[in-house]
Amino acid sequence: MAEKGVTPRSEDYSRWYTDVVQKAELADYSPVKGCMVIRPYGYTLWENIQAALDRRFKETGHVNAYFPLFIPLSFLQKEAEHVEGFAPQLAVVTHGGGEKLEEPLVVRPTSETIIGHMYSQWIRSYRDLPVLINQWANVVRWEMRTRLFLRTTEFLWQEGHTAHATQAEAEEETLRMVGVYADFAINEAAIPVIQGKKSDREKFAGAVYSTTIEAMMGNGWALQSGTSHFLGQNFARAFDIKFLNQNNEMEYAWTTSWGLSTRMVGAIIMTHGDDQGLVLPPRLAPIQVVIVPIWRKDTEKMPVLALAHQVTAALKAAGIRVKLDDRDEVSAGYKFNDWEMRGVPLRIEIGPRDVEQNAVVFARRDMPGKEGKTFGVPVEGVARAANDMLVTLQAALLQRATAFRDANTRAVRNYDEFKQVLDGPGGFIRVHWAGSDEDEDRIKDETKATIRCYPFDAPEGEGICFYTGKRTDRVAIFARAY
């Protein structure tokens, strides 16, 4: 069997990314242009993301439901900004069952409209509020330029949709959920995201404002990794979501929506991956530990395999996701490369000498070579040692990603310096900003950089805008982004 390799990141970052997705068997191209097939290893990673998020949603009082894939075209036309924002991306069904439909149906690009319609049927009184619903679903947005996981015509996600009696409650929900996304990203995906508010140019179509978590990828570009939107009463007015308040008066509900998609898989790949392939955070990795038995002579095989099975059983009993690779048609070196490509956090090697010592060797995925190896780990207590190592690995990945982000976040004094940084080292540019929407558009046209967010955490205080020279206390993060 040929060894698998990927294009080095320094040579072609985009090619490296595609190589990793395909060679680690996360996903493949579909015969339908712009769509992808998520392979079992990639889908298990998504299931682990789902489970970690779903637990957090339920802990904050949300419940799951499901709404139709098809949405009447007229629903999208009820909220003017919404339809304008999504019109270029819509897939529209005009025929069904061999006949032309009375009204065209849109394949769900997002569900604010159909869920708003249903909420108008369900909500009558303040006693019916809040409504806190999430759905796990697929959506379709017609894309011209696609990239596996990052931007595809069809993708998987969750979308939360809530309705509240007051503006304060809805805004609190909006901030709570972007905080839930940040907690997930930092503590499960080991990605140090920045929470903040989107500019008006970058907000969700139909929202009063949008909040986001922004992550830095390994090439310094930004990736919007999850968003939470305060919709005000825009959709409530469009879909007549009214309720009788405690003063016996009719008023419109206040709504929110929030979503995180399979794009998070791309974020994990590009935050942690290296020239050997994937590097997965232990908390989300489909396989946390792989055991590779090593023997040369037939007489060594049975004792080595016996110890390997014993260690496998101990790890399974401790709740660790473990795989014993006992293939004998490939070499140990091939196995090492194979599991490194797939990003398995911890490899356990067991050879004849380890059998004699009743011990094993640990090899960390994030530290190649001897530096990442621990020799003579006793079989007694191996599950606890493996678990401790996984905890160490998880923390190390977050620490490394945070250090990388901080080292690649810069301040600039003027627009010339801004352009020099973008064309040189790149990364995040953190500046005071007093520009207009038109200024923001001009910068995007000239540099391809956008305001990723106005960070919630902005201790800088007042300063001078790098573009206009005006004094302002607003801080913005600019970057090129996926």
- CA–CA distance, 414 with 110 (Å, rounded to integer): 39
Q: Domain for residue 5, yes or no?
A: no
DSSP structural state of residue 458: -
Tokens of 189: 């995906």
Question: CATH code at 464?
Answer: 3.30.110.30
In degrees, to the nearest 5, what angle opens at C-alpha 234 toward C-alphas 230 and 236? Answer: 100
Cis peptide before 130 (omega within 30 of 0): yes
The reply to whether 262 and 149 lie within a common domain is yes
What string of pLDDT tens digits covers the 482 residues of the chain? 445 689 999 999 999 999 999 999 999 999 999 999 999 999 999 999 999 999 999 999 999 999 999 999 999 888 777 778 788 899 999 999 999 999 999 999 999 999 999 999 999 999 999 999 999 999 999 988 889 999 999 999 999 999 999 999 999 999 999 999 999 999 999 999 999 999 999 999 999 999 999 999 999 999 999 999 999 999 999 999 999 999 999 999 999 999 999 999 999 999 999 999 999 999 999 999 999 999 999 999 999 999 999 999 999 999 999 999 999 999 999 999 999 999 999 999 999 999 999 999 999 999 989 999 999 999 999 999 999 999 999 999 999 999 999 999 999 999 999 999 999 999 999 999 999 999 999 999 999 999 999 999 999 999 999 999 999 999 999 999 99
Predicted confidence at residue 2, as pLDDT, reads 42
Q: Domain for residue 6, yes or no?
A: no
Predicted confidence at residue 4, as pLDDT, reads 64
The reply to whether 178 and 317 lie within a common domain is no
Q: Domain for residue 277, yes or no?
A: no
The reply to whether 41 and 164 lie within a common domain is yes
The reply to whether 347 and 320 lie within a common domain is yes
The total number of structural domains that make up the chain: 3
- CA–CA distance, 28 with 151 (Å, rounded to integer): 14
Q: Domain for residue 265, yes or no?
A: yes
The reply to whether 88 and 228 lie within a common domain is yes
Predicted confidence at residue 67, as pLDDT, reads 98
Q: Domain for residue 203, yes or no?
A: yes
The reply to whether 231 and 370 lie within a common domain is no
- CA–CA distance, 257 with 280 (Å, rounded to integer): 29
Domain of residue 355, residue span:
289-395
Q: Domain for residue 281, yes or no?
A: no
Tokens of 340: 């490194």
In order of 266, 305, 347, the CA distances from 113 in angstroms are: 28, 58, 48
